[in-house]
Structure 1
Amino acid sequence: MAKTYAGKDIEIGFDMKRCIHARNCYLKLPRVFDPERRPWVDPDAASAEEIAAMIRTCPSGALTYSRLDGVEGEAAPGINRATVVENGPMALHGNLTVKGETMTRATLCRCGQTKTPPFCDHSHAGAGFKATGEPEPTGKDAPGDDPGEACQVIQHENGPIEARGALEITGGTGARVHRGTRAFLCRCGQSNNKPFCDGSHKSAGLEVPGDG
């Protein structure tokens, strides 16, 4: 559950279990986000607009916000997009449903070592996970994707993550890898066709929960 920090014009939420320590918050707004201070978040140390703009750059969605000044909150972009991070997770941005919760940003584990599936918890760094951030295009470019359509992230027990709904997958440079309405994504770290599942989780003995 996210901890909240309420200020005059904005309330900031922080979910430690989803944080991948990208440090966007501290590097961009250190007067608001200071891990050496307690409490480490000061929602009145910058304007609500500055804080909201910074939070929208948090790739994992660990930081969220609610405006208390009558301004609308964060809206999902028109296209659901997943960016493959070299030697790291897959960063999703869009109209997402994960574990029954609606969100606009999430980073999904690809290394198979996370303690908070399906989310990345930065375990890939200690595990020495290696995977390209520029996969070969699949040639799949499904027509008729509905802008704004929700993408549901589904965990299959001891298996891959299924992305069901319109989703565009790109490499780190923005080059399109895949576009369609259904994709099975590797989360065991062993696929020879990353970021897609190729069944390697079976021989790898992956043990992860499903969504039931």
Structure 2
Amino acid sequence: MAEKIKEYESEELTVIWKPEKCIHSEVCYKGLPDVFDPKARPWVNVAGESDQRIKEQIDRCPSGALSYKLKNESVAGDTIEDEQIVEVTKGGPLMVYGNIKVKHHDGSETSKHRMTAFCRCGASSNKPYCDGTHKKINFEG
């Protein structure tokens, strides 16, 4: 099954959203509510702020569900150099920043870039990745 991808375009920038990767952390909405409004349709308003501010906010997306590309350029922000950083978020996922390879129980492997959110609450329906369920079950950890 093909991954669902939505794109929102301005004159110079395309915002890319992959809903299946989104953990609904609200980092985008809280950072730029004039651009990212989950109650509006479409929920991304690329005219709500400058391209530079939108890019900066997208770079803060903890799941990597949001990315962007500039016209005539490849997708931005897909790689981080050699370093990996692991962050335990309060009441949320285990965030791994950097390029990693995830080895699954069935022997398959998945390459991840930029950042990856791993489930800590045990209730995700997308294990080992976080799907935002920790908010619904009021996970504390």
TM-score, with structure 2 as normaliser: 0.78
Match of 2:128 in 1: 118
Q: Take 2:40 and 2:138, find their aligned partners in 1: how far apart are those partners?
A: 31
CA distance in 2, matches of 1:5, 1:101: 26
List runs of 5+ in structure 1 lacking aligned partners.
132-212
| Partner Cα separation in structure 2 for residue 69 and residue 46 of structure 1 | 21
Partner residue in 2 for 1:82: 86
- Greater relative contact order (Cα 8 A, min sep 6): structure 1 or 2? 2
Task: Return the match for 1:46 from 46, 49, 53.
Answer: 49
State percent identity of aligned pairs: 32
Q: For the residues of structure 2 that align with 1:77 and 1:50, how far apart are their CA atoms?
A: 23
Unaligned runs of 5+ in 2: 103-108
Kept in 2: contact 1:9–1:69 (CA 8 A): no
How far apart are residue 88 of structure 1 and its match? 2.2
In structure 1, the residue matched to 2:106 is none
Residue deviations 1:126-173, cap 9 Å, x none?
334343xxxxxxxxxxxxxxxxxxxxxxxxxxxxxxxxxxxxxxxxxx
- TM-superposed CA distance for 1:24, in Å, is 1.5
Alpha-carbon deviation of 1:94? 0.7
Q: Report the equivalent of 2:105.
A: none
Counterpart of 1:93 in structure 2 is 97
Shift of residue 57 of structure 1?
A: 0.7
Q: Take 2:73 and 2:123, find their aligned partners in 1: how far apart are those partners?
A: 41
Q: Pick closer, same or farther for the CA change 1:72–1:112 going to 2, 3 Å.
A: closer
RMSD: 2.3
State the shift of 1:120 in Å. 0.6
The 2-side partners of 1:20 and 1:108 are apart by: 10
Q: Residue by residue, what CA displacement relative to the aligned partner does 1:34-92 show, whole Å, maximum 9, x if unpaired?
A: 11211111223322211111011111111111122659821414411111123321011
Q: Which runs of 4+ in 1 moved over 6 A?
A: none
CA distance in 2 between counterparts of 1:87 and 1:71 reads: 34
Structure with greater helix percent = 2
Aligned-partner Cα distance in 1 for 2:50–2:72: 11
Mapped partners of 1:14, 1:59: distance in 2: 13
